[in-house]
Amino acid sequence: MPLGERSGDDKNDSRYCGVETDFNDDMPHLLSFNLHGGFDFVVAPLMDPTYRPSLLENGSNGAGVLPFAGSDLVLSPAQWSGHVVGKISSWIDLDSEDEMVRKDSEIALKQEISWASHLSLQACILPTPKGSSCANYARCVNQILQNLTSMQLWLRIPLEKSDDDSGNENPDHKIDSWDLWNSFRLLCEHHSQLSVALDVLCSLPSANSLGRWFGESVRAAMISTNSFLTNARGYPCLSKRHQKLIVGFFNHSIQMVICGEQVHSLCPGNPDSRANNTDNHNEGVHLHPLRSYLDYVAYLYQRMDPLPEQERFEFGYRDYLQSPLQPLMDNLEAQTYETFEKDTVKYIQYQRAISKALLERVPDEEATTNTTVLMVVGAGRGPLVRAALQAAEETGRKLRVYAVEKNPNAIVTLHSLVKLECWEEVVTIVACDMRCWNAPEKADILVSELLGSFGDNELSPECLDGAQRFLKPDGISIPSSYTSFIQPITASKLYNDVKSHKDLLHFETAYVVKLHRVARLAPSQPVFTFAHPEYSTKRNDRYKKLHFEIPCDTGSAMIHGFAGYFDAILYKDVHLGIEPSTATPNMFSWFPIFFPLRTPVCVQPGVPLIVHLWRCCGSTKVWYEWCVSSPVSSPVHNTNGRSYWVGL
């Protein structure tokens, strides 16, 4: 049975926990015993561990039957697929100096994976490479991957890294198992069906080093019984650092697998435990010997906070690449408007900003005589109009509102709203592109919601430059400024999703995405800032060179691209944004933007990452170009906006 259901829709794969087993000819009994013991699946060897191809050939003239754990008929297809993860023989060493071992390993690997594929297993765990060199092992796995249909291969990697302050003066003996994984996956060309099964050991590396793995394709965490401590009652528990790591795995849909022998004396099934725990006196002998470890993992899962309503709403968008909106070229649909209009937090912030502007612009003594002219440019279906009128009511100020909108379909809704709310005396609807409208009077306040995930990526600067001609010289723009930010990330899933298109265009497109299975490797840095109104002759093209330092205790890391955010000052101290360190809580109108790299860049400890980003402006379009110049030089992406641009 699963570890436990949290409130709300629990769609997390990590609610399932498996157990590693030894080879057993009787697969039905093996599976039944462990499923009845509370586990959801078994990680089981498929081949007798004593088997060697060369021995079979010598003893049977090549006609022997392979010693697999029973035929495919001993379990139903659903049982094989849903409850068994294959474990490839651990003796296999494809980079051995011994030619016989190497040849036996290659034959056995292909035989076992072929059998697992025949059984329709969802995954097989590959043994950890035996040494630092794994070229032949990776070559053989890559060959196999080319012909696999849907089965995943999980490479077993120990979670270890010796930190620089460990006192080890010999750099040749410093261990970073991430380097082993990185070497293997590079040799396999970042294949999307190659993932990681992490062996969680007694000691853990630094938090920054651990953080890298959340952006990698980790499918399972193999936690040994030796990693568990003993609580005051003699039962297994985990250290605080281990607990935090396991919860992080849960949050990233990484499944647990309990490995090893029972090592705690008070576990159910142990004779000592029956003598010391009367509750289990009659039933303890029937319980799985590793049940207490499973119960502890389930306890960690069940005590996690349920997903907030916003996260449940966004669950289906996690790591899903979306093309950014083209608000000037395309008219938004009703469903898109409705989604944005549900973001009450955003409109509360706008209402606060408008209220502050009204109070500062109109003194109390003029509140009943001074009418403020407020123009909403890009009014959509009217949420900013409503926010402005509510701000006027809240502050006791008088307003005259112009709602300017180019979408003829939204204009229909605006007219209905004005009639429904009896705003005819206050609100004038203007069916026009803000850049082409000749306003009958100057505005005191200009309000817009033209911001994209990267701030300026939906052409807010160009739109407001065209609209500010009807703003009074001392007029106020809301927002008054906004800044874009980027940070380097490990995002194996996003990279593989882009790579699956097998073309240049998708690698040179910036995507809107709800980032989830990513590792943020350094704090974000500001890129481009725009302020409004802008009366200088400054152009809207921009260039920024950024230096990022990955913390040394992180170790080496793979950069798959850059996450982009924005932070906007609406008015004075009222802001909204999605930059992680200052993000407006519970706001969901914007997901981050993702700038992919055609070739991921590996950054070594202490080596700076230098990134270049350009905002380019043409007569009919605006686009971004980006590249890396250190530690290696990448091509400039999206030259001349050949793949991705925003139309004016």
- Return the DSSP state at 499: H
Q: Is 434 annotated as a binding residue?
A: yes
CA distance 416 to 414: 5
> Could you list the active site residues?
449, 458
- Is residue 408 reached through a cis peptide bond, with omega within 30 degrees of 0 on the bond before it? no
CA distance 543 to 640: 14
Find the largest Cα–Cα distance for the chain: 106
Residues 6+ apart with CB under 8 A from 627: 611, 612, 633, 634, 635, 636, 637
Q: Is 99 annotated as a binding residue?
A: no
Let me know: does 85 contact 113? Beta carbons within 8 Å. Answer: no
Return phi, psi of residue 167, to 5°.
Answer: 90, 0
How many residues are recorded in the chain?
A: 648
Residues 6+ apart with CB under 8 A from 13: 253, 254, 255
Residues 6+ apart with CB under 8 A from 131: 95
Q: Is 508 annotated as a binding residue?
A: no
Let me know: does 575 contact 582? Beta carbons within 8 Å. Answer: yes
Residues 6+ apart with CB under 8 A from 356: 571, 572, 574
Rounded CA Rg of the chain: 30
Q: What residue type is 113 in one-letter code?
A: I
CA neighbor of 153 nearest in space, from 174, 173, 137, 130: 137
CB-count burial class (<10 Å; 0-12, 13-18, 19+) for 195: buried
Return phi, psi of residue 402, to 5°.
Answer: -110, 125
Taking residue 157's Cβ as centre, other Cβ atoms within 10 Å add up to 22
Residues 6+ apart with CB under 8 A from 47: 23, 66, 67, 68, 69, 89, 108, 111, 112, 115
Q: Is 346 annotated as a binding residue?
A: yes
CA distance 515 to 507: 17
Q: Is 405 annotated as a binding residue?
A: yes
Annotated binding-site residue numbers: 337, 346-347, 405, 433-434
Annotated binding-site residue numbers for S-adenosyl-L-methionine: 337, 346-347, 405, 433-434
